[in-house]
Chains A and B, each alone.
Chain A
Amino acid sequence: MARVQDAKSTLQALARFGGEILEAHLLHGNRLVETDENQSMLQTLEHHRLVWRIGDAEDLQLKKVLVHFLDHITETERRRYANAQVSHLWQALTDLFTDYKAAKVRSAFDDIDRLEGEIKECLAEVIEDIRNATEAFGAYINTGFAYVTDAELRIRENKRVIEQADRLIQLFESFKLNELAEQAGTDPFLKRLLLRYLPATLEASQKDLSYSLNQLRKMLVRMRENQRLSRLVGTFEAYYINHPGFEATIDHIDFTRLPEAFNTVSPFSIKGFGDIYDPADELILIELAANARTTEETAVPVKVVASATTVDFDVDGEVEVEESDPVEEAIAELLQLVIDGVIGHDLILASDALNRSGLEVERADWLQALAAEIEVLPDEDRQFIEIHIQHTPDPVYPDNLFVYDIALRQAHEK
């Protein structure tokens, strides 16, 4: 009875100091640092033989049995170190088999019994840990690392988990199942574990892990793309703030090397006439025509209430006159002169034309507008114009040319 009371009191102590014990296990390598505040706790734990120390100067350590228990209950934490955990267990299992083999050679039956029990337990733990480790990666995929708020840190966390998964896959590949299977001996339970459960668990885990790894890598790519887009938006936001009125232009782009993103078609309406030449369409056309006619005929006449004020609409409707652009007009006149004017082989300088026009336009704008207009001229007009771009190379980068004028000449057949 006293033993039961002691055990109950030990469990109560564990419950009472659970937080501190877990902290010591997870954060301080099972060490309980002595302070003035925790004297009572340390005494209680010593009393229940849950801690130990060699000398008084040393910190108290959690006892092995308690550590083992904590290992068991803090599975989530263990999953994080699944790679090392499985590796450690696998090594223990290999050692046990070596001992088991030696015990058999010596016919040490008690040891054989004990080792068989330990091998079974160790093997069961390996299987469980392999499953746990694999499930942990599935959990990462489900959360999408949402618990990390910063994008950069999330990417790092994702990379770290990918490395973990990589290591685990390598570890699984290093397991030599055939060698262990040979050591299973005649024990049916051991044989079942080694020849059936362990390979099946490993195969399923490898499959799940490969899937997880693939998903994690996809997630990483997505995160990086999100980060890139986020920076892209930030870049433009900052640029617009720092350069008010900025407007991107493609006027000087080589159209033959235009990126695909820009190359999209303008709307192109596809319409056809009703096929009045094919008798097969006759019925449909008659119906359509009938409906089109009856719409007007059956329109309900609007009753005009005598007291209502009438609204007169201008028959022609409001006409909005679009103002003509003097630059456009001047360019059109200039091009017309070059195309069908009597100018022989004379060159006309765009800058001269600008000066004579009296327009207050920057020369660069004028040249650009002229070049744009020439570019959109129909081929039948364009063929009559010879263009000579007048430019000087940049003193530093001679490949860059400064265009300072455009000379136009009527093209004559040679």
Chain B
Amino acid sequence: MSSPLFERTVTALMQEQVICEISDEELYNYLTMPDSQESVNRFLGQINRTLRLTSAQDAFVCAYLDLSRPEAKEAVRQQFKEVANHLEAFVQFLRLVMTLESGDRPVQPGDKLSEGYLLDRITTAPALESKLRSLAEKKIFHTKRADTASQLRSVLDSLEKKGYLKAIGSSGSVYRATGRWSWLYDVMTFIQAHEGIPQEEEAAPEQMRLD
């Protein structure tokens, strides 16, 4: 007897989706139940895959059980390249939102991002418009449009397509950050350690923000 929730969950996991409370509450709740986890893991285990939680314990991802196989290595290498290629753009986006929200922490799963609010704040300062323009020139967010509203829309659309944001409501201009950010922070933490990138002193980002 097939179970629709099981099928949806496994399909989503195998399609490289990160399942969290924001991206799909139903599947997330399903996976938080030990019995469901076990049955999903039992199935995944037979095809060299397993269920994993991000270190913030707020999102589920599907991982390879045995990474020594060439196809698994190649897949992981491709995903890493994808992140590494766009990481600078993600970092710039995070800093821009931190500046706009006057916050001392980057975007985290569950955070609400309103396109209208962000646009209002960006248009008040040419420096912020310039930062957005620079962001819109990055490959992942690229747009040929020159106006601030279209550039912001392009950035948010790209993040939604990549699964980092989920539109809420019917207007399509308010988003919630998903658990994919947790995964990205895990990857960044690894890159920092692996590449020996020195920890910045607390004051450094502040100084850069003034640039």
Contact residues of A with B, CB < 8 Å? 149-152, 225-227, 229-241, 246-251, 253, 255-256, 258-270, 375-379
Residues of A within 8 A of B94 (CB): 233
Q: Is B199 within 8 A of A229, CB to CB?
A: no
Q: Which parts of B165-209 form the interface with A (CB within 8 Å)?
A: 183, 185-192, 194-195, 197-200, 202, 204-205, 208
Number of A-B residue pairs, CB cutoff 8 Å, is: 150
Most buried by B among A227, A239, A251: A239
Q: Is B190 within 8 A of A376, CB to CB?
A: no
On whether A238 and B204 interact (CB within 8 A), knowing A233-B95, A258-B76, the answer reads yes
Q: Is B198 within 8 A of A229, CB to CB?
A: no
Question: What 0/1 pattern do residues 125 to 169 of B give for CB contact below 8 A with A?
Answer: 000000000000000000000000000000000000000000000
Cβ of A320 to closest chain B Cβ, rounded Å: 19
User: Across the two chains, which residue of chain A brings its CB closest to B183?
Assistant: A261
Can you spell out 5 A-B residue pairs with CB atoms less than 8 angstroms apart? A237-B91, A261-B186, A263-B67, A266-B78, A375-B73
A232: which of B11, B185, B204 is its contact (CB, 8 Å)?
B185
Q: Is A225 within 8 A of B56, CB to CB?
A: yes
Residues of B within 8 A of A376 (CB): 70, 73-74
Q: Is A260 within 8 A of B77, CB to CB?
A: no
B205: which of A234, A253, A255, A267 is its contact (CB, 8 Å)?
A234
Q: Is A229 within 8 A of B70, CB to CB?
A: no
Q: Is B62 within 8 A of A151, CB to CB?
A: no
Residues of A within 8 A of B202 (CB): 152, 231, 234
Q: Is A236 within 8 A of B185, CB to CB?
A: no
- Given the complex of chains A and B, what is the CA–CA distance between A151 and B98 in angstroms? 13
- Given the complex of chains A and B, what is the CA–CA distance between A259 and B192 in angstroms? 13
Cβ of A79 to closest chain B Cβ, rounded Å: 27
User: Across the two chains, which residue of chain B brings its CB closest to A382?
Assistant: B70
A250: which of B80, B192, B199, B204 is its contact (CB, 8 Å)?
B80
Q: Is the interface of B mostly helix, strand, loop or mixed?
A: helix
- Given the complex of chains A and B, what is the CA–CA distance between A241 and B208 in angstroms? 9
On whether A264 and B189 interact (CB within 8 A), knowing A233-B91, A235-B200, the answer reads no
Q: Is A267 within 8 A of B84, CB to CB?
A: no
Residues of A within 8 A of B95 (CB): 233, 237
* Interface size bracket, B side: 35 or more
- Given the complex of chains A and B, what is the CA–CA distance between A377 and B69 in angstroms? 11
Would you call B39 an interface residue if the criterion is a C-beta within 8 Å of the partner chain's C-beta atoms?
no
Cβ of A277 to closest chain B Cβ, rounded Å: 18
Q: Is A263 within 8 A of B64, CB to CB?
A: yes
B197: which of A239, A263, A268, A379 is its contact (CB, 8 Å)?
A239
Residues of A within 8 A of B104 (CB): 149-151, 226-227, 230
Cβ of B179 to closest chain A Cβ, rounded Å: 12
A265: which of B62, B85, B183 is its contact (CB, 8 Å)?
B62
Residues of A within 8 A of B10 (CB): 270
Residues of B within 8 A of A246 (CB): 88
Q: Is A235 within 8 A of B198, CB to CB?
A: yes
On whether A256 and B16 interact (CB within 8 A), knowing A226-B104, A264-B76, the answer reads no
Q: Is B192 within 8 A of A232, CB to CB?
A: yes
- Given the complex of chains A and B, what is the CA–CA distance between A260 and B77 in angstroms? 13
Residues of B within 8 A of A250 (CB): 76-77, 80, 194
Cβ of A53 to closest chain B Cβ, rounded Å: 48
Contact residues of B with A, CB < 8 Å? 10-11, 13-16, 49, 52, 54-56, 61-64, 67-68, 70, 73-80, 83-85, 87-88, 91-92, 94-95, 98, 104-106, 108, 183, 185-192, 194-195, 197-200, 202, 204-205, 208
- Given the complex of chains A and B, what is the CA–CA distance between A236 and B14 in angstroms? 30
Cβ of A263 to closest chain B Cβ, rounded Å: 4
- Given the complex of chains A and B, what is the CA–CA distance between A251 and B70 in angstroms? 14
Per CB-CB distance, the 6 closest pairs between chain A and chain B, nearest first, are A234-B205, A261-B186, A226-B105, A266-B75, A263-B63, A268-B14
Residues of A within 8 A of B13 (CB): 265
Residues of B within 8 A of A264 (CB): 16, 52, 61-63, 76, 79, 183
Q: Is A265 within 8 A of B75, CB to CB?
A: yes
- Given the complex of chains A and B, what is the CA–CA distance between A239 and B87 in angstroms? 12
- 10 additional A-B pairs beyond A229-B185, A255-B67, A262-B80, beta carbons within 8 Å, are A231-B199, A232-B106, A238-B204, A248-B83, A248-B84, A248-B87, A264-B16, A264-B63, A267-B16, A375-B73
Residues of A within 8 A of B98 (CB): 230, 233
A270: which of B11, B74, B208 is its contact (CB, 8 Å)?
B11
A227: which of B73, B85, B105, B191 is its contact (CB, 8 Å)?
B105
- Given the complex of chains A and B, what is the CA–CA distance between A238 and B95 in angstroms? 11
Residues of B within 8 A of A241 (CB): 208
- Given the complex of chains A and B, what is the CA–CA distance between A241 and B205 in angstroms? 11
- Given the complex of chains A and B, what is the CA–CA distance between A256 and B10 in angstroms? 25
Q: Is B208 within 8 A of A255, CB to CB?
A: no
Q: Is A261 within 8 A of B55, CB to CB?
A: yes
- Given the complex of chains A and B, what is the CA–CA distance between A121 and B194 in angstroms? 66
Cβ of A158 to closest chain B Cβ, rounded Å: 14
- Given the complex of chains A and B, what is the CA–CA distance between A268 and B64 in angstroms? 12
Residues of B within 8 A of A239 (CB): 197
B208: which of A238, A259, A266, A267 is its contact (CB, 8 Å)?
A238
Cβ of B83 to closest chain A Cβ, rounded Å: 8
